[in-house]
Amino acid sequence: MNQDELKALVGQAALQYVVPGQIVGVGTGSTVNKFIEALASMKNQIKGAVSSSEASTARLKALGIPVFDSNEVAELAVYIDGADEINGQGHMVKGGGAALTREKIVAAQSKVFVCIADESKLVSVLGAFPLPVEVIPMSSARITAQFANMGGQAHVRMKDGNPLVTDNGQHILDVNGLHIHDPVAFEAEVSQWPGVVTVGVFAHQKAQVCLLGTSEGVKTLKF
Ligand code: 5RP
């Protein structure tokens, strides 16, 4: 099976975690796009979704799935999202699709985070994937210097020759060269640097379940 087929497999498998009659939290990315396609088959059984990006919102609405503002919903039973990396404890690196801030917000309002990923995303130490960090633009240089002190090389993410602007109007730094051995401590430390909106380490909002697409089928990891 190729990577696209593995993504479709876990997108379909995630339907078993969707609670009928409720609102489901929906992440962002190519794996989640497969989940959204599968969710259309259940659209008459759910109230709707809280979405983590403008891109997912557009896809959900195009399929006739109502999208609620996160402020309208006190708690979600489940949040389904992909990851750029996940370790054996359910800690993740996310933000490859620049949606990390809203993803962390929706994850925080959800009881269970179900990560859907192909097996290439499972790692022993986070950091080989360049770590996305959403920042207030005027703080980029200072935060870049702070990462350099940790051995990381940060670069502003570009799109069409200009800094990419997130759904929240901010910029993304992608940081290479990190080896994140203690994701909980790392997330806590970087989150309090002035100008950091969201760091793409999801350790406090970790996954409780990972549906991993492998050539032998879907493996369920629980953390
Ligand atoms: C978007 C994300 C995605 O979940 C992550 O980048 C994985 O994406 P994909 O399913 O396309 O590999 O964090 O901000």
- For 14-36, write each residue's pLDDT tens digit: 999 999 999 999 999 999 999 99
pLDDT at 74: 93
Q: Which percentage of the chain shows pLDDT scores above 90?
A: 100
DSSP 3-state assignment of 221? strand
- 97 Cα to the center of ligand 1, angstroms: 5
Q: In this structure, what token pair is assigned to residue 25? A: 């939290």
pLDDT, mean of residues 156-178: 98
- Domains of the chain in start order, with CATH, are 3-123+204-222 (3.40.50.1360), 131-200 (3.30.70.260)
From atom 2 of ligand 1, which residue's Cα is the shortest distance away? 95
Question: How many whole angstroms separate alpha carbon 142 and alpha carbon 218?
Answer: 43
pLDDT, mean of residues 69-77: 97
CA proximity to 181, closest of 144, 108, 128, 139: 128
**Using a 6 Å cutoff on CB, does residue 100 contact ligand 1?**
yes
From atom 4 of ligand 1, which residue's Cα is the shortest distance away? 82
DSSP 3-state assignment of 131? strand
DSSP 3-state assignment of 1? coil
**Using a 6 Å cutoff on CB, does residue 30 contact ligand 1?**
yes
Give residues with Cβ within 8 angstroms of 125, minimum separation 6.
Answer: 87, 179, 180, 181
pLDDT at 186: 98
- Give how far Cα 163 sits from Cα of 59, 79, 93, 174, Å: 25, 29, 21, 12
Question: How many whole angstroms separate alpha carbon 106 and alpha carbon 24?
Answer: 10
Strands 162-163 and 209-214: unpaired
Catalytic, 103? Answer yes
pLDDT at 20: 97
| Annotated catalytic residue within 5, 72, 85, 103 | 103
pLDDT, mean of residues 124-141: 98
pLDDT at 77: 96
Helix (H) or strand (E) holding 217: strand 217-222
Read off the pLDDT band of 153 (50, 70, 90).
very high
Taking the CA of residue 120 as centre, how many other CA atoms within 13 Å lie in the half-sphere pointing to its CB? 10
pLDDT at 117: 97
Kindly report the average pLDDT of the chain as a whole number: 98
pLDDT, mean of residues 187-208: 98
pLDDT, mean of residues 47-62: 98
CA proximity to 210, closest of 95, 97, 123: 123
pLDDT at 9: 97
Question: How many whole angstroms separate alpha carbon 42 and alpha carbon 162?
Answer: 40
Q: SS in 3 state form for 69-122?
A: CHHHCCCEEEEEECCCEECCCCCEECCCCCCHHHHHHHHHCEEEEEEEEEHHHE
Q: Which percentage of the chain shows pLDDT scores above 70?
A: 100
**Using a 6 Å cutoff on CB, does residue 53 contact ligand 1?**
no
Q: What is the pTM of this model?
A: 0.97
CB 42 within 8 A of CB 63: no
pLDDT at 70: 97
